[in-house]
């Protein structure tokens, strides 16, 4: 079974803490999330669709998981759904920040900047250092 990618795991772990999930059960929440992500991949379900979660819970019931386990899995995946909103909020904030930076000082914008001379100087420097080491 694949591990949870860090771009999912890091915000997920932060939300577990924020939602007051006891650290003693974080392992189980991550386990349910891994199972859910594998389920979505295997059966071609979209990760952030509620129907996928209900089908996942049905699958757990068919596999004779206890009601407590199904409830825990449901809660674990519900917290995962919150990571989508958090990520979208962060992207929106970054886009706003980017717009603010670019509009603060319009004089800083360069139009048609030519980097050709910089690259030529860099290329010359690399060739010079390469031949100084006796490689050329």
Query: What is the structure's pLDDT at 106?
Result: 55
- Report helix angle 26-43 to 67-104, nearest 10: 80
Mean pLDDT in residue range 50-72: 97
Query: What is the structure's pLDDT at 53?
Result: 96
Query: What is the structure's pLDDT at 101?
Result: 54
The token duo for 87 is 């990520």
Q: CA nearest 80: which of 99, 58, 56?
A: 56
Whether the CB-CB separation of 36 and 49 falls below 8 Å is answered with no
Residues 79-103 pLDDT 10s: 999 988 765 555 555 666 655 555 5
C-alpha dihedral (62, 42, 83, 4), degrees to nearest 10: 100
| 30 CA to centre of own chain | 15
Residues 8-51 pLDDT 10s: 999 999 999 999 999 999 999 999 999 999 999 999 999 999 99
Residue 57 vs residues 24, 49, 105, 116: alpha-carbon distances, Å? 23, 13, 53, 59
**CA 56 – CA 77 distance, rounded (Å):** 10
Query: What is the structure's pLDDT at 54?
Result: 96
Q: In this predicted model, which residue has the larger pLDDT, 133 or 4?
A: 4
């Amino acid at each position: 079974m694949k591990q949870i990618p860090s771009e999912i795991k890091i915000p997920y772990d932060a939300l577990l803490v924020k939602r007051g999930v006891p650290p003693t059960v974080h392992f189980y929440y991550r386990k349910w999330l891994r199972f859910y992500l594998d389920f979505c991949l295997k059966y071609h379900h979209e990760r952030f669709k509620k129907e996928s979660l209900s089908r996942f819970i049905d699958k757990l019931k068919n596999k004779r998981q206890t009601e407590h386990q199904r409830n825990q899995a449901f809660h674990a995946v519900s917290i995962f759904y919150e990571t989508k909103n958090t990520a979208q909020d962060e992207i929106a904030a970054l886009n706003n920040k980017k717009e603010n930076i670019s509009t603060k000082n319009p004089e800083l914008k360069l139009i048609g900047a030519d980097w050709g001379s910089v690259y030529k100087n860099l290329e010359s420097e690399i060739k010079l250092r390469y031949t100084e080491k006796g490689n050329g």
